[in-house]
């Protein structure tokens, strides 16, 4: 008896809601992609991917590129807008405008939190992480650069960073810079940041870091990357010693 051959199952098309969502994000950005897969990659957390190639297929590589594109675009705008300003002040202003807190604020304007794709079992701490938001913001800029070139990326950066560029020329310092300048002014040894622990899976790591200055108790902090854990530890030190009376 002949066995009936099974018909191949049709490939499911992406849900219309996904297309609508991405179209909405493109409208917010003021940029429409030729290769929409670039934007999808920029919005994909490593946890949402199967296999060992999560770094290449997630936002991580695009975030690396977008960070450099953002730095170049902001440096160019500062250089042209402030011909009389010395390099030290330009560097501090650049640091303020590309810091992760600023990128997370821009991500809020784009409502990126509603677009990022995570694995179903990822906890709220990662889903609502400000550092993840900042990284995805830079990944989106990297995707725009690859899709439309530097001019397209610079146009988006100009649109959303312009209000911050026009703010006071005295930026709010990041905690590590503020702590470094505080110890230098007092002739103390530079802060030492020590890696204390790394826990969690590769797609959801938690780093514990301490900052140590001779003559003061160490301060510890945890975050999803070493960079953000160091910033948080420095901020805790500044607040504890009342160098800062509140978060900037």
**Residues marked as catalytic:** 67, 138
- Asked whether the CA dihedral 37, 41, 47, 49 is positive or negative, the reply is positive
How far from 147 is each of 33, 37, 152, 212, CA to CA, in Å?
Answer: 7, 10, 9, 44
Place of tokens 């504890």: 240
How far from 114 is each of 10, 46, 244, CA to CA, in Å?
Answer: 29, 16, 33
Looking at residue 167, what DSSP letter applies?
A: S
Instruction: Report helix, strand and coil shares of the chain as percent, to nearest 5.
Output: 55, 10, 35
Whether 105 and 138 have beta carbons less than 8 Å apart is answered as no
Which are the contacts of 239, defined by CB distance < 8 A and separation ≥ 6?
246, 247
């Amino acid at each position: 008896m002949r066995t009936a051959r099974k018909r191949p199952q049709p490939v499911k098309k992406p849900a219309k809601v996904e297309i609508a969502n991405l179209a909405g994000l493109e409208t917010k950005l003021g940029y429409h992609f030729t290769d929409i897969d670039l934007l999808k990659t920029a919005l994909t957390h490593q946890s949402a991917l199967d296999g060992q190639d999560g770094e290449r297929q997630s936002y991580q590589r695009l975030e690396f590129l977008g960070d450099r594109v953002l730095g170049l675009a902001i440096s160019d705008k500062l250089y042209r807008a402030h011909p009389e300003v010395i390099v030290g002040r330009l560097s501090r202003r650049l640091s303020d405008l590309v810091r992760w807190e600023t990128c997370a604020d821009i991500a809020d304007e784009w409502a990126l939190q509603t677009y990022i794709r995570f694995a179903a079992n990822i906890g709220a701490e990662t889903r609502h992480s400000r550092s993840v938001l900042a990284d995805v913001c830079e990944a989106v800029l990297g995707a725009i650069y690859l899709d439309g070139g530097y001019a397209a990326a610079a146009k988006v950066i100009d649109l959303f960073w312009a209000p911050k560029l026009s703010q006071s020329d005295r930026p709010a310092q990041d905690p590590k810079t503020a702590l470094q300048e505080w110890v230098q002014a007092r002739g103390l040894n530079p802060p030492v940041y020590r890696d204390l622990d790394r826990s969690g899976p590769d797609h959801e790591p938690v780093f514990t870091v301490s900052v140590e200055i001779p003559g003061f108790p160490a301060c510890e902090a945890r975050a999803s990357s070493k960079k953000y854990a160091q910033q948080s530890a420095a901020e805790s030190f500044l607040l504890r010693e009342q160098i800062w009376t509140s978060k900037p």
